[in-house]
Structure 1
Amino acid sequence: MVFTHAPTEVDGAVPSPTERARDLADRLVRPTAADRDRDRRWDPALFADLAAAGVAGPLVPRELGGGGLTATETGELLEALGEDSRDPGLALAVVVHAVLATVPLRAFGTAGQRERYLPRMAAGEWVGAVSLHQTQGAALAPTVTARAGLGGWVLNGEVDLVAGAPVAHHFLVVAVDADGGRTAFVVDRDTAGLRVDDTAGPAAMATCPWGRLVLDHCLVADDAVLGAAGSASTEVEPLLATLDWVFTSAPWVGVMRALTRDAVEGVRERRLFGRPVAHVQSARFALADLATRCELAAGLVRRAAGRFDEGERPSHREAAAARLFVANAARAVTEGAARLAGPAAFSDGHPAGRAHRDALFFAETGGGTEVLRPVIAASLLALG
C-alpha cells in the first residue's frame, strides 16, 4: 500500500493540516486537558473541530473526502497534535479512529465498504473503534468466535480495551472460526446482538473513551467481512500491528518534545539552595538525556512511517523496534521531566505527571515487551 500526496491548487495557500492541528491543540485541547482528564470526559465538539481541520481522515484519499496525506505527513501531524496538546489520551483516540480503524478499510475494503464508511469517518461523522487487545492478532488468545451460516456470520464473545467504544458508530473485530481461521469484520453499533459496556476502562489515558464490546449471537451479513474470509492473519492483522506500533508512537514523540522543552524552561527558572539549577551538572545531564531520547524516537518513527510511502509496510522488526524504543523513551522522559519539575509535577493536572501515568500504560500496550522483543529477535534470527 502506498500513501501518496495529491497536490491541488490550494496547497500552500492555506495552513497545512499539521499547522491547523497545532493551532487547535494549542487553543482548544491543551487548555482543557487537565479538566477532561480529571473528569474522564470525552468532548465530541472538540473532536468535531479536529475532524474539520483534517485530523480524522489524513490517510483517506481525497476523492473519498479525506486529507490524502502521505504516511510521513500523517506522522508529522500526529507528532504536532501530541506536542501542542500534551494530551496522550485524546491523541490515542484520534490515532485509533484516523489510522487503525480507517486504513484497513482503505486497504482491504470493498468499493462499497470504502464508499460507505471512509467519507463519513474522514468528516468525523462516524467514529471507528478498535480494541488494543486485537491489534496484535494471533499473539493474544482469541476472544471472539465466528460461525458461518447462510448469508452471514454469527459472532460471540467479548473484547476489552476498545478505544472509542462509547462514541463509536462501528467496530473492527477479528474473530476465530471452528477451524482456527481468522476473519476481520466491520460491525455497526446498531447490529442486533451487539452491546457496548462503557463502564470499564484503564486508569490511564482518561481523555480517551473506553469500553467493552459484547457480542451475543450477533448476526452480521457477508458484506461485513473485511478482506477475504479466513485471511485476517495474513491481511488485516499484520497491517493493524504495524499501524499500531508506528502511529500510536507518533504523538508520544511530540509529547516528549514538549515536556523536554518545559523541563528546559523550568531548569532555567528554578534555584536550589540559592544556586541556579541550570548550573547543576546532574540537571544538565538529565536534560541532555531527555533531548537525545526525543530525537532518536523521532528518527525511528519517521523512518518506519516513510516505508509506507515507499510502497511497502515497515518490517515487523522495524515497526516493533520503533515502538519498543518509544515506549521506553516515553517512560524515561516523562519520569525525568517530572523529577526536574519537582513535587508540583505530581499535583492534580500537571502535564508531566499525567504523561508519566499514561506512558506506563502505553508501554504495556501494543503487545508490550512480551510481544515486541520476540518479534525483533525472531526477525534477527530469521525465524519468521
Structure 2
Amino acid sequence: MAKTMAASNAAPVADGGAGAVAQMPDVDRSFLDWPFFEDRHRDLAERLESWCAGLSVDHGDVDAACRDLVARLGTDGWLAHSAGSLDVRTLCLIRETLARHDGLADFAFAMQGLGTGAITLFGTEAHKSWLPQTTRGRAITAFALTEPRSGSDVANMETMARRDGSDWVVSGEKTWISNGGIADLYCLFARSGGPGPKGISCFLLPGDAEGLEVVERQEVIAPHPLAHLRFNEVRLPEEALVGAEGQGFRIAMSVLDVFRATVGAAALGFARRALSEAAKRVRERELFGAPLAELQMVQGHIAEMALDIDAAALLIYRAAWAKDRGAERVTREASMAKLFATEQAQKVIDMAVQLHGGEGVRKGAVVESLYREIRALRIYEGASDVQKVVIARQVLG
C-alpha cells in the first residue's frame, strides 16, 4: 500500500514565459490509500508524479505547447489511457496530477479523451482506426458541441446535417471549441432530424475538411486553443456517422457522463497545489514577529481549505469508482463531483491568493495562474447552475 508521498520536484508556472518552473511544495497524497483505488492506480500515480518532475512547458505559444504536450503524452504512454477500455479512476488521477503541475498539460490530456469518447463508446472498427493516432499523440482531437445560441441547452443546437445522396452535408457554427483550429479530428454534433434531442446525430470530421472555417481564435484569461468554427456545406461520407442517426444526444451525454467527474479531478489538482503553496507561504511569511501560520485565523483558513479538498476528492473518486464498477450511468454522482469540486476549488484558490497578499496577484505567481485556470471549470462541460438542475432532477426522479 502507498503511504503519504510528498512531492518536492520542479513544476511549471503558467506565466507566459518559456519553460518557467517553480519548486513544488509538499503535497498530501495519502488519499491514494483510500479503498477506491487498486495497486495499479497507486503505481500509475507514482510513475506520473516522476514524469511530471521533468515537465517544462513554454506557454508563450499555446498551439505549439499543446502539440508538443500531446506528442509527449502519447510517446510516453499516458494517452493510452484516454481511449479504449476507459478506467475513470485512472482518468481522474491523471488529470488531478497533471493539473497540479501544469494546467495546459491537463488540458492536452483531457481533450484527447473527450474528443475520442464517442469513438471509444459507440464507434465502428473503421472509426477506431483513429485511436492509434490519437493515443500515440500523432493526431489532436476536439469535441464540437457548443454553439453560439446553445451551450448548456444542447438539445436546441442549430447546426444542420442533411443527406445528399450517400453523403452528409453540414452547415452551421460551433463556438468555444477546445483545440479548435489545431485539431486533426472533430467529434461533431449536428441536427439531422426534427427538433429536440432525438434529432441530433454525431459525426467524425477531419480537421482538413473542405468548407471548415476557423472564424475566430478565442482568447481567454487562462490561454488554451479555442475557436469559433463555421461549417460551409462540409461534405462527409455516410461512414462519418457515429452510432445510429438521431443517437447524437445520447452519445454526447454518455461521453460527458464518463468525463464530467474528471473535470472535478482537474479542479482538485488545482486546489491541492493552491493549498500547498498557501501552507508554504504562511510558514515562511512573518507578521508581527511570528509566522502567519501561528495566527488562529490563518489556521482556520487552512483547515477549511483542507476540508474542502478532501470532501471534493471523496465525491470525485466515488463517482469514478461507481462508473468503473459497472454502473450504466453516474449522472447524479458525476454532477455532484463536478459541481462541488469546481466551486470549492475556486474558494480554496481565492484564499491562497489572499494569504499571499500582494504576491498573490503578481503576474506569473503560481496562485495567480491557478486563479485564472480554475474559473472556466465552473462553466465548461456543464455550468454549476446547470449541474444543480441535473442533480435536482435525479433526486426528484
Q: CA deviation at 1:58?
A: 0.4
Structure 2 runs not aligned, ≥5 long: 1-38
In structure 2, the partner of 1:105 is: 119
| Secondary structure of the structure 2 residue equivalent to 1:233 | helix
Superposed CA offset, 1:52-90 (max 9, x none): 2222230434xxxxxx5622122212211122x1x2243
Distance 1:137 1:147 in 2: 24
- Are 2:119 and 1:90 equivalent residues in the alignment? no
C-alpha separation between the residues in 2 aligned to 1:137 and 1:263? 34
Deviation at 1:329, TM superposition (A): 0.9
Higher mean displacement: 88-97 or 39-48: 39-48
Over the matched positions of the two proteins, sequence identity in percent amounts to: 25
Aligned with 2:55: secondary structure? helix
User: Hey, what does 2:26 align to over in structure 1?
Assistant: none
2:268·2:342 contact (CA, 8 Å) conserved in 1? Answer: no
- Cα deviation code 1:186-243 (max 9, x no counterpart): 100122211234x43242331x211222111001011111111111122x12112223
1 CA distance for matches of 2:190 and 2:392? 28
Distance 2:348 2:287 in 1: 22
In the superposition, the TM-score normalised over structure 2's length comes to 0.82
**What per-residue deviation string (whole Å, max 9, x for no partner) do you get for residues 22-49 of structure 1?**
23333223xx4xx51x654541233322
* 217-226 or 300-309, which deviates more: 300-309
Give the aligned partner of residue 65 of structure 1. none
3-state SS of paired residue (2:203): strand
Instruction: Indicate whether 1:349 and 2:364 are aligned.
Output: yes
Residues 1:306 and 1:19: Cα distance change in structure 2 (over 3 Å): same
Cα distance in structure 2, aligned partners of 1:289 and 1:27: 32
The DSSP-based 3-state class of the residue aligned with 1:344 is: helix
Letter in 1 for 2:94: L
Q: Which residue in 1 is equivalent to 2:27?
A: none
- Tell me which amino acid in the other structure corresponds to 1:130: F
1:188 corresponding residue in structure 2: 206
- The one of the two structures with greater contact order (alpha-carbon pairs below 8 A, sep at least 6) is 1
- Give the superposition deviation at 1:330: 1.5
Return closer, same or farther for 1:272/1:244 CA change in 2, 3 Å cut-off. Answer: same
Map 1:221-232 → 2, pairs under 5 A: 221-232=237-248
Contact in 2 for aligned 1:93/1:209 (Cα 8 Å): no
Distance 1:333 1:140 in 2: 34
User: In the alignment, residue 103 of structure 1 is paired with which amino acid?
Assistant: G
Map residues 40-119 of structure 1 onto 2, 5 A cutoff.
40=62, 42-43=64-65, 44-61=67-84, 70-83=87-100, 85=101, 87-97=102-112, 99-114=113-128, 116-119=129-132
Rounded to whole Å, the distance in 1 between the matches of 2:53 and 2:71 is 16
One-letter amino acid of the counterpart of residue 118, structure 2: P
**Which residue matches 1:27?**
54
How many Å apart are 1:174 and its aligned residue? Answer: 0.6
Match of 1:121 in 2: 134
- 1:158-196 Cα shifts (integer Å, max 9, x gaps): 111111123210101110124231000110012221123
- 1:334 corresponds, among 349, 352, 364, to 349
| CA–CA separation in structure 1 for the residues paired with 2:382 and 2:301 | 29
Secondary structure of 1:246's partner? helix
Residues 345 and 69 of structure 1: CA distance in aligned 2, closer, same or farther (over 3 Å)? same
Q: Which amino acid aligns with 1:186?
A: L
Q: Mind listing any 5+ residue stretches in structure 1 that lack a counterpart?
A: 1-11, 62-67
| Moved >4 Å (runs of 4+) | 38-41, 134-138
Alpha-carbon separation, structure 1, partners of 2:152 and 2:208: 25
Q: 1:137·1:233 contact (CA, 8 Å) conserved in 2?
A: no
- Which residue does 2:23 correspond to in 1? none
**Distance in 1 between the 2:202 and 2:86 partners?**
26
Aligned residues: 352
Q: Is 1:302 the counterpart of 2:302 in the alignment?
A: no
Contact 1:338 1:353 (C-alpha < 8 Å) held by counterparts: yes
Please name the residue that 1:233 is paired with.
249
> CA 1:163 to 1:247, structure 2 compared with 1: closer, same or farther past 3 Å?
same
Cα offset, 1:103, TM superposition: 2.3
> Over the residues paired in the alignment, what is the CA RMSD in angstroms?
2.3
Q: Aligned equivalents of 1:230 and 1:137: distance in 2?
A: 19
Question: 1:245 aligns to what?
Answer: 260
Mark the CA change 1:241 to 1:79 in structure 2 (over 3 Å): closer, same or farther.
Answer: same
